[in-house]
Chain A
Amino acid sequence: AQRVTQPEKLLSVFKGAPVELKCNYSYSGSPELFWYVQYSRQRLQLLLRHISRESIKGFTADLNKGETSFHLKKPFAQEEDSAMYYCALRGYGNKLVFGAGTILRVKS
């Protein structure tokens, strides 16, 4: 079975603090992992994908196959990072499977 787990429904941090949004996956093959973000009153959009190994808006995510994780990290949170974040896996049948999402609140 393929599954994505985001253990935190809500993560609240202060501005300038480090952020780590957790994502674990279950998949027996070679996965492709993504992070999607939805800012308030905006549509869901791709933030980053593991295959590109890039940093977007200061966020990075490393695929750890040993721990089956794809945590999203940013060293210094900003208020504009407040949003809903979804981790997603492309697995069997090339369909995207999404986690339940984590709300990030950055407090001033």
Chain B
Amino acid sequence: DVKVTQSSRYLVKRTGEKVFLECVQDMDHENMFWYRQDPGLGLRLIYFSYDVKMKEKGDIPEGYSVSREKKERFSLILESASTNQTSMYLCASSLGQGGGWSTDTQYFGPGTRLTVL
């Protein structure tokens, strides 16, 4: 059974702080994703990675960066948090095939609700 875990369920930070959100998957998946989930907007892709040290921008990368130093871990970084980054952040992973994309299922973590004051 695939397990995707996120380091915190709830996080409160102040404007301007550097924020790290961690995601770990235990199924040797190649692909990992970060989304934010907002009412009325659904899920929007921030960044994704299809291999260690590889990253690609999603639809809303501004204000975010990511790091994937190990296959099982994908970190989302807010260099200088702002109030408009208050949101629910979801991490997901999928199997992948040979480093490329496939029609496989994305497995989601429980989410981190970030509040920036």
Contacts and interface: CB of A to CB of B under 8 A. Distances in A.
* A interface bracket (residues with beta carbon within 8 Å of B): 20 to 34
A56 B110 CA distance: 22
Contact of A32 (B42, B103, B109): B103
Contacts, number: 43
A43 B110 contact: yes
Contact of A51 (B40, B48, B58, B103): B103
Interface string A66-98: 000000000000000000001010100011111
A82 B15 CA distance: 36
Interface residues of B, number: 22
Contacts of B101: 94
B45 A95 contact: yes
A94 B107 CA distance: 16
Contacts of B41: 100
A26 interface: no
Contacts of A86: 42-43
A100 B40 contact: yes
Interface in B32-69: 35, 40-45, 48, 58-59
A95 B48 contact: yes
Interface string A14-56: 0000000000000000001000000000011110010100000
Given A43-B108, A97-B59, A100-B41, 15 more contacts: A9-B40, A43-B4, A43-B110, A43-B111, A45-B107, A90-B103, A94-B101, A95-B45, A95-B48, A96-B106, A97-B45, A98-B35, A98-B44, A99-B42, A101-B42
